[in-house]
Structure 1
Amino acid sequence: MTLTTEKRIELTEKLRPVFIQHGREARVEHVSFFLDLNPEQQEAVKKILKKFRSGSHTPDSLLEEYHRWKDGAGVPKIQPAAPKTFIKSVNRAASQSLKQAHRNVPEDLKKEQAKAEKREKKAAQKRQKNALEIALIAALRENREFSDYKDVFFAARGKQRKLIAFLGPTNSGKTHAAMEALRTAHSGVYLGPLRLMALENYDRLREKGVKAGLLTGEERVDLAEATHVCQTIETADFNQNYEVAVIDEIQLLTDKDRGGYWLNAVIGIAADVVYLCGAPIVENILRDLAELTGDEIEIIYTQRMSPLVFAEHKEDPKKLPEAGTAFICFSRKNVLLWKDMLEGAGANVSVVYGALSPEVRKEQSRRFRDGETDYLVATDAVGMGLNLPIHKILFTETEKFDGEGFRRLAPQEVKQIGGRAGRYGIASEAGIITSYDAKDLHFLRQRYTAPEPDVGLTDVHMKPTAAHIRKICESFNNHSLDFALRKFQKIGHEIFSVDISEETLIVAEKMDRIFGTDASSLSVRWFFSIAPADPKNEDAFGYFLDLAIGYKKVLEKEKNTVDLRIFEDPGARLEYAESQRKNLTVYLWFANKKPEIFQEKEKAQELAAFYDGLINKLLAGNKRVTRKKTIGLPLSFCTECKAMMPPFSQFSVCRDCHAQRR
């Protein structure tokens, strides 16, 4: 039997003040109590109301708990109590709750006031912290490591240097002229962006009788008696004095990821004469840097020594182009697809892309140079350091993924890559730039003739040094490397651009986790942060982190060395072989820096040679069924705009047309 409507209304009125206090409307259905409650259940209802008065219950949760008891969940069944007993208990409970609510009003106000004071105190602390941070950042900007960045390089500032810039298009003899000056000097250094370029110039100097050494992240060759050193720009020594220095591909000053190394080299290399070789786009930057450092500068403009023309018509996909053509793609995947397609048409192909080691690139280039292969399929890696007998550059696509999204090629990229056709002294005829797509051919011609954008010192990307990181950590009393790098980006520089890549921050965060954030481990974490880690490659980055964990165990005396943990696998597939070769590059980098801890250098070098050979074998033997060359290539084109599609595409429209449909 349930309460009558009159009784329910009466109880509703008694509980109304409690509901109003909690901002709720009191309705009859809120007190749909049953009469069949035993004394134990009645006691439970009293406890629930007590919780409600103390504020630990809301009307909704009260009803929910009440109904659990009402339904007898977990409560033994007892004979129902008399209706009048229950009504009296509820009335008494409701009356008590109303009185208690009135007594609690001042207490609630006190609680609200206390909460408001606490919030205000927290906000004041935050404002004070922000003000302190702003003051510290302002102070750091005035610090010499930040404000007078050029003065950090003591050896260079102690010299009156002369900068000579050879600026011009590809195939205009820039690097050749600079290397001749380097060859005749008593001492010198060559700094380039790729290990392959350092290796080629090392070989060139050795052939001419110069005591040259090679220094890269992986190797140190003939350095003991060397008067000249060819090295990658990341390994530059700013304390050594030279007569002549050559800095190649100087236009990379504006590169977001690596430009800081070129900035350091230009303002910090201690040579009497510094030759700067590259594209004219950075002329104003070089003049401004010379004014900043107080060095004399001379600009020498060079002209292309062999003609370069654009094809009058697009390429015919029904027949293969002449031998000596380089097909340009912008991803490893597309390189291998075009390789398969060309080999399926009966051609012999060499390939060059970023994931390949310098030794593999060199061997692939040799096969193309010696005529063992008809065609070269390459990424934009061919735009630097490879002098090959390329007659025609054929762009298979005109957009690339830059880490954030797809974009069209910039004028400088078209010039740098297209200029590899018709190399002076190698290819006898004019170089040709072409495409299978008429629209792409028109775009390439426009980009090649387009004026270069204006760039200045704000487009030069400054990199943090160990001194920067240490100063930030000491100033903020926070030795997290991730924290220091983020603050470095916030501090910025009044002249140069400061950008910390997401990959760098990922490495820093991982190093903080592995080594902790004590001041004592900061130098170790910084050491690992400048290693050649690749967070985008899951396998390679996993191996890198394993080396870091092994290094920590050595520091904690759990072991004496960091194990190599790489083995020969003759049956490895191409992707796995490339991954292992990349891991060996990382290990060799550490072995050159810390040979007492990374002791398996010789084994790593043997494994590197093994995987180089295996990769070359896999690239040479990965052919489809040979067909006649006359059938051409099975290219497909967009059914709407007629643009060329990627090889073996499963779609009928291109990406642009698909986006317009959506």
Structure 2
Amino acid sequence: MLLRTLHRSAPLLARASARPLRHAACRRAPPLVAAWLQPHAFFSTRTQDASPTAVLTWPDELVKAVHKRMKSFPRNYECKALAVEAGLNPAEWPVAATAFRNAFLRSPERFFADQSELLHFARDLDAQAQKLKRGSSFLFYPYFLDFCKAANYVPALDSDSMFTLQQLTDLRLPHELYPLAAAMKRRVVYHEGPTNSGKTHEALARLKRAGDDGGLYCGPLRLLALEVYERMNMDGLYTSLVTGQEKKLLPHATHVSCTVEMANINRRWDVAVIDEIQLIGDPQRGWAWTRAFFGLQANEIHVCGSSEAVHLVQKFCAASGDDFELRSYARRSPLEIDAEHLRSYRHVRPGDCVVAFSRREIFQIKREIEVKTGEKCCIIYGQLPPETRSQQARLFNARDNAYNILVASDAVGMGLNLNIARVVFSSVKKFSGGGGGMTDITPSLAKQIAGRAGRFGSAYASGVATCLQEADLKYLRESYEQPPTPLTSAGLFPSSDQMEEFAKQMPGITDLGDLIDKYVLLARLDGDYFLCNHADMKDAAALLRDVDMKLKDRFTFCMAPVNLRNPLARRVFLDYASAHARDESVQLDIYLPKYAPQTAEALRDVEIKAQIIDLYLWLSFRFETTFADRALAEERKARVLELVEQGLINTTYNKDAKRGSSHRWSSERRDASSSAPRYTSASSSAVGDSSSSQSQYRRPVLQHAQRRTPSGDGRKPSAADRFSDIEEAVREQQAEEEGGKYQSMETLASRIQSQWRKLSRGGGSGGGGQ
């Protein structure tokens, strides 16, 4: 009789089966009685406000997929294991899971606020099912937590733990994660305009007038943060610089210029500027803009960007209660798409910027232009150190040298002030990665790059954009005329503190990669947000799987800027993490070549070493005890920048050289290289002076290997170091003999092995340190 009364009286149990009712009546603390006494507590706090009369239905096109996945939920042993860890009696799992399945399918309004939220969940479930094939029923787990908590299937203490887990994974209202900023009545000013419209200039003008609480600039690149840092200090405002790899903290500084990831959300600001706000939708880094926008405790926040993000930012302001103001700017210099394509690189002229989308293509185009026109080219691409990119930009902008052409990647689209008259796209296709092949660049990227032409106040009052091929010109014109596509969502990603708290609720999972997967599956999002791509972080976590370190340290290492696709960087990264885990002092054990690279391939090796030094500097600001060699790293960084910049000079082709000469490269490299500082040692005299009758660029390979000098810390080069230098010397000598054209790899390998055998037999003494 009691069972029948409960069944009729409790609205939550109206559709429950008899079996769970009978089982529940036998429990020590009957969950059905608790549910009957507090029927409205069954739902999450988000759905309590929903109208009790609103009836939601599953969409017809997705109802089959939802029922199929939900049918398998009671058999999901992974969810069962998590529920048992949270305090659920294992014997009650079938009862609770079945009761939840029935309620979820028949009365979805008890779990969702409205039809749009239900539709978003159903589509996300269908997408996960197609992607994962198995395991998509794990998406039901957050709602199962609500069910168990309301129905008292777990003890109170464990129920609180489950509620904490639910809070950690509920990302539908991210502004609530920053209560101090949410408590403020902030004024958000959106400076909207295309490239070269002066929007950032206006925002910085307001930043300079910041009050006693000071001002903060958040830029997308280290180059932009450095530029603002220098500009503000030149204007008499004490400004500090904070990036991942560099900190310049000025005493009594009132302003800070930083990269957006380094934005300080733990103090008050009068004015804050967030540049390139449209990157809030970036698949990899969008989380940093979302964090800065919602987390900054600033009276005024000035965001600068294109029109794509206007509607999204306005929507966020309405949700957080901030005032919103839009200021639109027009381009200050005209830009047009040329009616004719370029046809050949013979037709480039001073002030042109040729855009390519791969490093190999950039060097090929550079050489072709220098051979066909006699003009010298500067180059800018992503793998170059930021300082070198800035140096190349200054070289191109200066009018007192012969470097009148720029060959660049899409890195030219942001962060550099360039005097460009015409932008020439070598192609409008770019490798998408992930097996996607070559795809057209997005219209927004095409407009951003084309907009670099005709900078206001430069020697070129108007700008022109064109393509090398006629077929690409039509796409460029269509992209330029196409209206911008509004952003619909912003990126999110948990912080290290959030992941630590999440790990406490998942005691059975210790691997960071598995924790991230579980967090992604449990995360509750609405249509305004998405979780950023975390593939690189998972790769790093897999590499460090066997390294025993704290979760917070592991998370920090996995966020480090490192290219794990490169074997050397991968090995060094693992060595750094292992030494840190053992609480050892980590040494910057990296050997730099004595001579500047002569070829693009040798230059790549130096670029990788520059990235490794940057990695050490980045870690040194987060683990100061174990990465204590920051001074040496900064010294090596200065040296590697010299090598890279000199290497770029060395790859410049000189058309005026004699046709029969075996030395076709620019004579400028000889002068510049001779004036560059070099590491020397007393043992170098054992093999003769470098100013002997034999040119330093025509020295025998074996002699070059023997003259390796100790590194800055006095360490003698190892056999591997000498072997690496032999390979470099072979490439240099071969490039000189053949004008930069390599022989087959078999020939190159044979020459390296021959020189290595000579050295192994004791071919000489000296700097090699036998």
Secondary structure in 2 matching 1:267: helix
- CA distance in structure 1 between the aligned counterparts of 2:410 and 2:139, rounded to whole angstroms: 43
1:595-654 Cα deviation digits (max 9, x unpaired): 2221111111111111111111111121335169xxxxxxxxxxxxxxxxxxx9xxxxxx
2:535 counterpart letter in structure 1: E
Paired position in structure 2 for 1:526? 555
Whether the 8 Å contact between 1:423 and 1:431 is mirrored in structure 2 is yes
Q: CA distance change for structure 1 residues 565 and 158 in 2, over 3 Å: closer, same or farther?
A: same
Partner of 1:244: helix, strand, or coil? strand
Whether 1:413 and 2:413 are equivalent positions in the alignment is: no
2:378 counterpart residue number: 350
1:198-233 residue CA offsets vs partner (Å, 9 max, x unmatched) = 001111101100101110111111343211111111
Residue 472 of structure 2, aligned match among 440, 448, 451 = 440
The amino acid of 1:501's aligned partner reads: H
1:646-661 alignment, distance < 5 Å: none
Choose which of 564, 586, 597 in structure 1 pairs with 2:588. 564
8 Å contact kept, 1:161–1:272 = yes
Alignment match, 1:289? 316
Of 123, 144, 156 in structure 1, the residue corresponding to residue 181 of structure 2 is 156
Are 2:460 and 1:508 equivalent residues in the alignment?
Answer: no
1:395 alignment counterpart: 425
AA in 1 matched with 2:394: R
Instruction: Give 1:365's match in structure 2, choosing from 393, 417, 441.
Output: 393
Measured in 1, the distance between the counterparts of 2:250 and 2:209 equals 19
**What is the identity, as a one-letter code, of the residue corresponding to 1:354?**
G
TM-aligned CA distance change 1:145 to 1:237, over 3 Å: farther
Tell me, yes or no, if the aligned pair for 2:619 and 2:627 is still in contact at 8 Å: yes
1:481 corresponding residue in structure 2: 512
* C-alpha distance in structure 1 between counterparts of 2:79 and 2:203, whole Å: 56
**What is the distance in 2 between the residues matched to 1:402 and 1:257?**
14
Percent identity of paired positions between Structure 1 and Structure 2: 30
Greater Cα radius of gyration, structure 1 or 2 = 1
Following the alignment from structure 1 to structure 2, what is the Cα–Cα distance between the partners of residues 410 and 349?
27
Tell me if 1:179 matches 2:204: yes
Q: Equivalents in 1 of 2:248, 2:196: separation in Å?
A: 29
Structure 2 residue matching 1:166: 3-state secondary structure = strand
Matched, 1:137 2:147: no
Query: Structure 1's 524 and 305: CA in aligned 2 closer, same or farther, altered over 3 A?
Result: same
SS at match of 1:190: strand
In structure 1, stretches of 5+ residues that fail to align are 1-121, 629-647, 649-662
Residue 427 of structure 1, CA deviation: 3.5
Aligned residues: 498
Question: Partner residue of 1:546?
Answer: 575
The match for 2:272 among 245, 257, 268 is 245
Question: 1:123: how far off?
Answer: 6.2
The 3-state SS of whatever aligns with 2:525 is: coil
2: CA distance, partners of 1:427 / 1:233: 32
1:585 match:
614
CA distance in 2, matches of 1:490, 1:223: 44
- 1:357, CA displacement in angstroms? 1.1
Are the aligned partners of 2:229 and 2:241 in contact in 1 as well (CA < 8 Å)? yes
Unaligned residue ranges in structure 2 (runs of 5+): 1-73, 85-137, 146-163, 658-740, 742-770
Tell me, what secondary structure is at the counterpart of 1:514?
coil
Name the CA shift for 1:124/1:424 in 2 (closer, same or farther; >3 Å).
closer
Distance of aligned partners of 1:570 and 1:344 in 2 relative to their CA distance in 1, 3 Å threshold: farther
| Contact 2:352–2:420 (Cα < 8 Å) also in 1 | yes
- Whether the 8 Å contact between 2:269 and 2:299 is mirrored in structure 1 is yes
Higher relative contact order (CA 8 A, sep 6+): 1
Aligned: 1:620 with 2:649: yes
For residues 31-70 of structure 1, the aligned pairs below 5 Å read: none
Aligned counterpart, 1:117: none
Aligned counterpart, 2:696 = none
Task: State the 1:331 CA deviation.
Answer: 1.3
Shift of residue 455, structure 1, vs aligned partner:
2.5
Distance in 1 separating the partners of 2:653 and 2:341: 26
1:205 equivalenced with 2:236 (yes/no): no
Report Cα offsets for 1:31-86 as digits up to 9, x if no partner. xxxxxxxxxxxxxxxxxxxxxxxxxxxxxxxxxxxxxxxxxxxxxxxxxxxxxxxx
* CA deviation after TM superposition for structure 1 residue 126, in Å: 5.9
> CA-to-partner distance for each residue in 1:93-123, whole Å, 9 max, x for gaps?
xxxxxxxxxxxxxxxxxxxxxxxxxxxxx96
Task: Name 1:335's counterpart in structure 2.
Answer: 362
**8 Å contact from structure 2 (residues 276, 305) kept in 1:** yes
TM-score of the pair, normalised by structure 1? 0.72
Q: Provide the rounded CA distance (Å) in 1 between the counterparts of 2:480 and 2:610.
A: 36
CA distance in 1, matches of 2:78, 2:229: 57
Residue 340 of structure 1: CA displacement?
1.5
SS in structure 1 at match of 2:461? coil
| Counterpart Cα distance in 1 of 2:228 and 2:76 | 62
- For residue 128 of structure 1, the aligned residue among 58, 62, 80 is 80
Q: Residues 125 and 601 from structure 1, CA distance in 2 versus in 1: closer, same or farther, beyond 3 angstroms?
A: closer
Residues 139, 522 of structure 2: 8 Å contact kept? no
Secondary structure in 2 aligned to 1:413? helix
SS in 1 for 2:353: strand
Match of 2:758 in 1: none
What's the CA shift for 1:144?
5.6
Q: CA deviation at 1:129?
A: 3.9
| Structure 1 residues 197 and 348, CA gap change in structure 2 (3 angstroms) | same
Q: Structure 2: how far apart are the matches of 1:141 and 1:594?
A: 29
Which secondary structure state, in structure 1, belongs to the residue aligned with residue 227 of structure 2? Answer: helix
Q: Distance in 2 between matches of 1:366 and 1:206?
A: 20
User: Letter of the aligned partner of 1:360 in structure 2?
Assistant: T
Provide the C-alpha distance between the structure 2 equivalents of 1:317 and 1:623, rounded to a whole number of angstroms. Answer: 20
Q: Deviations over 1:172-208 (max 9, x none)?
A: 0011000111111131111111100100111110110
Label 1:451 to 1:141 Cα distance change in 2 as closer, same or farther (>3 A).
farther
Q: Secondary structure at the match of 1:251?
A: helix
Q: Give the CA deviation at 1:237.
A: 1.1
CA distance, structure 1, for counterparts of residue 648 and residue 519 of structure 2? 44
Residue 346 of structure 2 aligns to a residue whose secondary structure is coil
What's the offset of the Cα at 1:141? 7.1
Is contact 1:155–1:238 with CA below 8 Å preserved after alignment? Answer: no
C-alpha separation between the residues in 1 aligned to 2:641 and 2:277?
30
Deviation at 1:488, TM superposition (A): 1.6
Matching residue of 2:288: 261
Q: Which amino acid aligns with 2:590?
A: I
TM-fit CA distance, 1:131: 7.0
Give the equivalent residue in structure 1 for 2:498. Answer: 468
Q: CA deviation at 1:389?
A: 0.7
Alpha-carbon spacing, 1:127–1:489, altered in 2? closer, same or farther (3 Å)? closer
Distance 1:141 1:499, change over 3 A: farther
Q: In 1, distance between residues paired with 2:406 and 2:346? A: 17
1:529–1:223 CA distance, 2 compared to 1 (3 A)? farther
1:438-480 deviation line (CA, Å, top 9, x unaligned): 11111100011112224213xx121111233123322221232
Contact kept in structure 2, 1:339 and 1:377, CA below 8 Å? yes
Residue of structure 1 in register with 2:631 after alignment: 602
Instruction: Please say if residues 182 and 246 of structure 1, whose CA atoms lie closer than 8 Å, have aligned partners that are also in contact.
Output: yes
- Matched residues in 2 for 1:454 and 1:206: separation? 36
Q: 1:365 to 1:433 in 2, by over 3 A?
A: same
RMSD over aligned Cα atoms: 2.2
User: 2: CA distance between counterparts of 1:128 and 1:220?
Assistant: 48
